[in-house]
Amino acid sequence: MGSTSYVAPTFTPSNTPTPTHTPTATPTPIIPDNDDRANARSVKRPTTVVQNTTRATIEQDDPNFPCRLGGPQSHTVWFVFEPDADQLLTLNTRDSTYDTLMTVWLQDGSGLSHLRCNNDYQSGVRQARIDNLPVIIGNTYLIGVASNDPNGAGTLSLQIAGAVATATPTATHTPTPVPNDDKASAQPIKQPTAISMDVRRATIEQDDPIFTCQLLGPQSHTVWYVYTPSLPQQVLTLNTAGSSYDTIMGVWRMHSGGLDPKACNNDYGDVRQARIDNLLVDAGETYLIGIAANDAIGDWAADLCRYRSCAYSHAHTH
């Protein structure tokens, strides 16, 4: 039998293609749909809105954010809130990636009345926060968030919360009359001093002067003080920081022909109390100081039984 030879088959390897990496597409930021306040986005509570604001712009007719301390006001986005009940609204931007400013206005037709503004709600924190803003069913509130960051904007996280306000029962007792309810009985004060009084029975007279800085709601429950400087060229500072309700404060120079308005303040910073700093007053002149309630939200948020007025005064030679 002949021998059989075996020839091993040969294989020629084929070139296996090396997998190539497909780059992930970088999403291009879009202009926010609520970039213009005419297109403000309707929001409810509780909710959190997260959006990229790097391509948000600012319009020439954008209202000013009054608590801006420096730097730009840019990259504005807008929201509108219509409460379904009288409530206390809380807003914050704490999880945002850039320096934010936030303001709330009452929207009445085409007009706006400023209510609150916040920038950097505590030291070292670049985000904004507004706590317990009283809002009323039937009203419309415009919320604006802007960048105060020279590097532009980024991701906004706006958290909206709050609670329906409930009246706090108070002990029933008869309030005492307010001795300086009428400006003709204005209480003389000296400096420095601190005054605390129950003003729930204070009234308003037809001849009371108008508080020129009144922004919203009634001017009611007025109490009056009179200050006569003993030294020339004094600088007077007044504040109602210890009061338990929304105060407004005005100062007028008294003369034989009437009253000349000198200063007025309503809601300094992000609080509901009033403050007048460094008002120049002079010896020989007499100044009328008026404090009124400017509560626009009704008794459910500020019970008149709890109204107390605290006026602190201090003056020094200029």
Predicted local confidence at residue 303, as pLDDT: 30
More confident site: 45 or 243:
45
What is the greatest pairwise CA distance in the chain?
148
Tell me what the pLDDT averaged over the chain comes to. Answer: 80
Predicted local confidence at residue 297, as pLDDT: 42
Write phi, then psi, for 135 (nearest 5 degrees).
-130, 155
Predicted local confidence at residue 305, as pLDDT: 30
Q: At residue 316, does pLDDT exceed 90?
A: no
| Cα 84 versus chain centre, distance | 21
Give me the mean pLDDT over the 294-313 stretch. 42
Lowest mean pLDDT of 94-98, 156-160, 168-172, 223-227, name the range: 168-172
Nearest-CA neighbor of 192 among 312, 304, 278? 312
Q: At residue 40, does pLDDT exceed 90?
A: yes
Tokens (6 digits) for 34:
């609520």
CA angle 285, 288, 293 (to 5 degrees): 165
Lowest mean pLDDT of 85-89, 138-142, 195-199, 236-240, name the range: 195-199
More confident site: 111 or 10:
111
Pairing of strands 155-164, 47-52: antiparallel
> Domains in the chain, ordered, with CATH?
37-164 (2.60.120.380), 183-317 (2.60.120.1050)
CB of 202 closer than 8 Å to CB of 222: yes
Neighbours of 55 (CB within 10 A): 14
Predicted local confidence at residue 60, as pLDDT: 87
pLDDT in tens, 211-235: 888 655 567 888 999 999 988 888 8
Predicted local confidence at residue 174, as pLDDT: 55
**Cα(179)–Cα(177) distance, integer angstroms:** 6
CA angle 114, 115, 120 (to 5 degrees): 100
Instruction: Go through 205-239 and write b for each residue having 16 or more CB atoms within 10 A of its CB, e for each that does not.
Output: eeebbebebbebbebbbbbbbbbebeeeebebbbb
The secondary structure of 13-54 as a DSSP string is PPPPPPP---PPPPPPP---TTSSGGGPEEE-SSEEEEEE-T
Sheet holding 220-227, edge to edge: 187-189, 220-227, 286-293, 247-255, 258-266
CB of 146 closer than 8 Å to CB of 59: no
CA distances from 231 to 170, 226, 237, 318 (A): 45, 16, 15, 10
**pTM of the prediction?**
0.50
Predicted local confidence at residue 78, as pLDDT: 97
Give me the mean pLDDT over the 4-26 stretch. 62
CB of 79 closer than 8 Å to CB of 157: no
**Cα(52)–Cα(144) distance, integer angstroms:** 15
Pairing of strands 41-43, 74-81: parallel
